[in-house]
Structure 1
Amino acid sequence: MSAEPVAPADAGSTAVPPGPGLRARTAAWATDLGFAAGWGAVKLLPEPVARGGFDAAGRWAAGRDGRGVRQLRANLRVVTGGRLTEGELDALTRRAVRSYARYWQEAFRLPRLRSDRIVAGTEVVGADHVRRARDEGRGLVMVLPHSGNWDAAGVWFVDFLGGPFLTVAERLRPESLYRRFLAYRESLGMRVVPLTGGPRPSTEVLREWLADGGVTCLLVDRNLGTGGVPVSFFGRTATMPGGAALLAAQTGAALIPTVCQFTDRGWRLTFSPEVPVGGSGRLRDRVGAAMQGVADAFADGIARRPEDWHVLGRIWADVPPDPGAAPASSPSRTGPEPG
């Protein structure tokens, strides 16, 4: 499983290179069929049945202990500061995979849920940070990690704003899959601009939107492209895309870290204070300092409920996936699987 196809494009990430081979095209076609089945069938299931089925799938995926789950465990070891025993870390990882499965179950069912139910079921912390910037007539650059259900948070935010916000989506293959996600997000009240392949560059559209007092939401805890801004994240060096901070600096919009999490009855949305990006000094240095502020806010929120951080990919260069179980014929093996 991967969170990336259902997330808005990470600010500053790069598009998938052109010219996929037969294997890639076949995989993309199969993925499209899977999502079509999800939106066509899962949303028709009674909610308890869908919830139970996806929870069972999460348990199964955790027990299978594939590469993504082992990377998630390694990431959570960093997040928890190495304080957990291996048994405690395994239990946390299982909860995290089940949380991820809950995200997918909700993603398939959100279009049929009433927005007032989502709004009523969302706990909000720090809304004054958002209201202050809106009262000043400024745009907002909301930056999020891959935590909780950012789509449900988007429904709450559209209701709060009284209108849509703008986000960016990677151009997925096949085109029909991209169109499905475009229709899905637009059905939730969002506006989506493609990262690449649109009539105008996405950064140009975002700048104009923000300069007019608009709002954009971008996922920035994973840098999928080259470069990026180096930050200290849970005490280790990582890179995050700096495009969100750059947009805030160029337009005067407020840069506000936002962490989404689950609760037993719904969702929690925590807004942190605005991260400053203006002032004197070189723009590059101001963007770097701002992204460090974002990383610090993310770390604080994620540490409060780490099981809702859905990152099954590599974040830190020196943190590979945990090793898999050694085959019976090779009990001494300790390294990670190749590839």
Structure 2
Amino acid sequence: MPLPTGHSLSHRPRRRRERGLAARLTDAGFAAGWHAVRLLPEPVARGLFDRAGRWAARRDGKGTRQLRANLRVVTGGRLSEPELASLTTRAVRSYARYWQEAFRLPALSSERIVAGTEVVGLEHLEKARAGGRPVIMALPHSGNWDAAGVWFIDWLGGPFMTVAERLEPESLYERFVAFRESLGFRVVPLTGGPRPSTEVLREWLGEGGATCLLVDRNLGTGGVPVEFFGRAATLPGGAALLAAQTGAAMVPTVCQFTERGWRLVFSPEVPVAGPGRLKDRVTAAMQSVADSFAASIADRPEDWHMLGRIWTDVPPDLPGPASTPAGR
């Protein structure tokens, strides 16, 4: 018997087509961006993306409202609403700067990126390398981690390995992998690869390699419980588990922007080895990572690009009249 008109099943093929079209348009947009932005003079590209960031802040979409709610937690509720709105605008502009640089990065020389990068706490990284140990750099979504990767490769004298999540469509995922491999990264898929990503990373670290992992995502029941800016959150525990299994030094690393370049802030190694259950050691290590992140993020919150929900009790701000000023 045919389905009644308006039944939800009758819309599924159309919805699939719409999702497929949206995915293809997204991929085409990234392809155009990587090509076109590189052709623009750098001041022009910077200006265009900065204006786009201001526009996105004024538009006050869901991502911006979640970012504002997250920044309210980071700043401890000390800012007035106009001050918080100004900070949110700066944060959205910082995120726009990340994308402008990402599109241009393959055209920038590694010499320029290295020369333009300030480094704080390098002794923590050097100590691990001097001991002949592999290194795991645990990072939040802050600043420009792709530019940081170029600096890492220069300092390491070779590539490091990282993990990429699958994106839709597959062509967009492949485009991001090709982009990061063009910078010298070794990229393994989080899922769907010929071997589990954790197995590949363990092998790489066991041979003395280095890896960079982004670990400030809320994984719900699948993550490690921590306190982050005074609130309960969960973070992926894979970096700490790998450190325990391989003897690698896990070094919290936060990327930030400077006026015309970049800054890397390395914190002391977080120990994972020792007595007690592995689960407890991993949890304690990730709490130390969260504490290190919090200290650096609080110092420059506008460079933390967390437009998603990281605390279960902190939803996006309610929509309302655009209250985000243009910022400075």
TM-score (norm 1): 0.89
Q: After the TM superposition, which residues 54-203 of structure 1 pair with which residues of structure 2 at under 5 Å, given as runs?
A: 54-203=49-198
Counterpart Cα distance in 2 of 1:320 and 1:178: 28
C-alpha contact 2:72 2:84 (8 A) present in aligned 1: yes
1:231 and 2:236 are equivalent in the alignment: no
Over 3 Å counting, the alpha-carbon distance change for 1:115 and 1:326 in structure 2 is closer
Correspondent of 2:293 among 298, 302, 312: 298
C-alpha displacement of 1:38? 0.5
1:38 and 2:33 are equivalent in the alignment: yes
C-alpha contact 2:68 2:84 (8 A) present in aligned 1: yes
Moved more, 148-157 or 167-176: 167-176
Structure 1 residue matching 2:312: 3-state secondary structure: coil
Higher relative helix content: 2
1:217 and 2:207 are equivalent in the alignment: no
Query: What are the Cα deviations for residues 240-291 of structure 1, in whole angstroms up to 9, with x where unaligned?
Result: 0101100000000001100000000200000000001000000000000000
Partner of 1:263: 258
Counterpart Cα distance in 1 of 2:122 and 2:20: 44
Over 3 Å counting, the alpha-carbon distance change for 1:165 and 1:225 in structure 2 is farther
Structure 2 residue matching 1:239: 3-state secondary structure: strand
Structure 1 residue matching 2:72: 3-state secondary structure: helix
Unaligned runs of 5+ residues in structure 2 are 1-14, 323-328
TM-score (norm 2): 0.92
The two structures, once aligned, show a CA RMSD in angstroms of: 1.3
Counterpart Cα distance in 1 of 2:260 and 2:37: 20
Counterpart Cα distance in 2 of 1:230 and 1:22: 39
Counterpart Cα distance in 2 of 1:317 and 1:69: 17
C-alpha displacement of 1:326? 6.1
C-alpha displacement of 1:22? 3.0
User: In structure 2, what residue type is equivalent to 1:318?
Assistant: D
Name the % identity: 77
User: In structure 2, what residue type is equivalent to 1:103?
Assistant: Y
Structure 2 residue matching 1:21: 3-state secondary structure: helix
Counterpart Cα distance in 1 of 2:255 and 2:307: 17
C-alpha contact 2:125 2:266 (8 A) present in aligned 1: yes
Counterpart Cα distance in 2 of 1:296 and 1:127: 19
Is the radius of gyration larger for structure 1 or structure 2? Answer: 2
Counterpart Cα distance in 1 of 2:149 and 2:127: 19
Counterpart Cα distance in 2 of 1:51 and 1:224: 34
User: In structure 1, what residue type is equivalent to 2:174?
Assistant: R
Unaligned runs of 5+ residues in structure 1 are 1-19, 328-339
C-alpha displacement of 1:69? 0.4
Aligned length: 308
